[in-house]
Amino acid sequence: MGRPTSLPRTGRDNGAYAQPCYCDRRLTQFRRWLTARNPEPRQRFGLPGFAHVRLPRYSEEAPVNDPLYQEWIRFRCDQLSAARGQLRDCVKSLAPDAVVLANPAFPRQAAWANRLSFDPVSYGRHTDLVFADNGNFPRKEDEFIVSQVRACKVARACGYRVVSTAWEQNAAGPTVPDTPDKSALSVLESAAFGAVPGNIWALRPIGGGAGMGVDALLKAEVLAESQRFLHDHADLYGAPRRWRMLRSCPPPTPWPLTTRSPGRACWAPRRFSSAASSCSTLCSPPTCRRCTSTLSPLCRTSGAWPTTLARGCWSLWTRVAGRWSPATRATAMSTCGCALRRP
């Protein structure tokens, strides 16, 4: 296959780990890998060589005491990390400022190296951001505290940053922590542990998958409040970082992110592209601080919700006859006298 000349901004979920492969090509690679790593196989394996070694049968028994199975796990992790390195090198050669983000579902379960072929040390060298997709949403269970601290500490040691996508567990199974208070908790816990502060559960797909939007006014407000707190205490939590996010298809222009409430636009970047940022800065404070106190009455009186841009203050979008358009300059004025800028 020829080398690509452009980089589509796309991705797929849960494609960053791999279960065992038993094809003949993999068997040949495993034998060569064993030979290169173990010049004296008799000492550890009791074998004169590896020419007749077969791929071990997959097992989740623990602990793993078989030296051949131990090497098979390491081989699979090395293969996956090497593939990730090739992908990252290709991406960076085409778009040096692109962000490589992956979801290896780590840490989620015991024996993750065996189950997922994932090694955070080697894998993290080839990834900018990693989703911590697991059931460790911060809470107290019996006498224990559940949190994402392990994911964040491993990330710091291995050279990447975490985007928390933790969910909760109850009797019915996994649940999405998308209430306003839990949205704030997700942001603040991530900031405390050095992860990217945000809460993807506050976002919902809109336009048939063309974009993402905050689906509730209260969540938008509490996310804004959380981000303002971090902005005001940057000396403790570090300066906010902006990331370019990958997207599967270009959004229409203009593209305000809508809520489920008819006739309103959502508080978010007008475009989810290079000038905008991830959920960590979807709720960045506006340039004019006084505007924050006017958001709710402005929403109620004008029938529109302000959108914030990467630069500038606020801009209003209204929906007329089913189409979104910028509000007029006369309408786009806040009660504090700050002109709400149009895109």
Residue 331 lies inside a defined structural domain of this protein: no
Q: How many helices (H) and strands (E) does the chain have?
A: 10, 12
Say what the pLDDT of residue 62 is: 79
Q: What is the mean pLDDT of residues 292-315?
A: 32
The SS3 call for residue 69 is: helix
Q: Does pTM surpass 0.85?
A: no
Between 5-9, 40-44, 320-324, the lowest mean confidence (pLDDT) is in 320-324
Percent of the chain with pLDDT over 90: 20
pLDDT value at residue 24 = 94
Residue from 209, 269, 202, 206 nearest 11 by CA: 209
Q: Is residue 341 part of a domain?
A: no
CB 151 within 8 A of CB 106: yes
Phi and psi angles of residue 176, each rounded to the nearest 5 degrees, phi first: -90, 120
pLDDT for position 68: 96
- Domain extent, residue 210, equals 128-239
52 occurs within a structural domain: yes
Pick from 127-131, 152-156, 176-180: least confident? 176-180
Verify that 145 and 68 share a domain, yes or no.
Answer: no
Tell me: the pLDDT tens digits for 87-109? 899 989 988 888 888 888 888 77
d(CA 204, CA 240): 23
- Residue 242 pLDDT > 70: no
Per-residue pLDDT of 185-226, as tens digits, reads 888 898 889 888 877 777 766 666 666 666 666 677 887 888
Domain count, the chain: 2
DSSP tag of 289: G
Judge if 17 and 73 occupy the same domain. Answer: yes
Residue 171, pLDDT score: 74
Residues sharing a CB contact under 8 Å with residue 17, sequence separation 6 or more, in sequence order: 80, 104, 105, 106, 116, 117, 118
Is the confidence at residue 29, as pLDDT, over 50? Answer: yes
Single residue among 202, 221, 239 that ends a domain in this structure: 239
Q: CA-CA distance, 199 to 215, in Å (whole number)?
A: 12
- Domain co-membership, 86 together with 143: no
Highest mean pLDDT out of 28-37, 94-103, 152-161: 28-37
Among residues 192, 189, 215, which one has the least CA distance to residue 202?
A: 215
Is 65 among the domain residues? yes
Rounded to 5°, the CA angle 282-284-287 comes to 135
Residue 316 pLDDT level (bands cut at 50, 70, 90): very low
Average pLDDT, the chain: 68
Q: Which of 32-36, 169-173, 218-222, 311-315 has the lowest mean pLDDT?
A: 311-315
- Residue where a domain stops, chosen among 239, 264, 286: 239
pLDDT on residue 77: 93
**Same structural domain, 134 and 232:** yes
| Maximum mean pLDDT: which of 9-23, 59-73, 165-179, 239-253 | 59-73
pLDDT at 10: 57
- DSSP code string of 106-138: TTSSTTHHHHH---HHHHHTT-SEEEE-SS--S
Q: Which of 184, 269, 274 is nearest to 230 (CA)?
A: 184
136 falls within a domain: yes
| pLDDT the model gives residue 75 | 96
Residue 136 reports pLDDT greater than 70: yes
d(CA 168, CA 33): 41
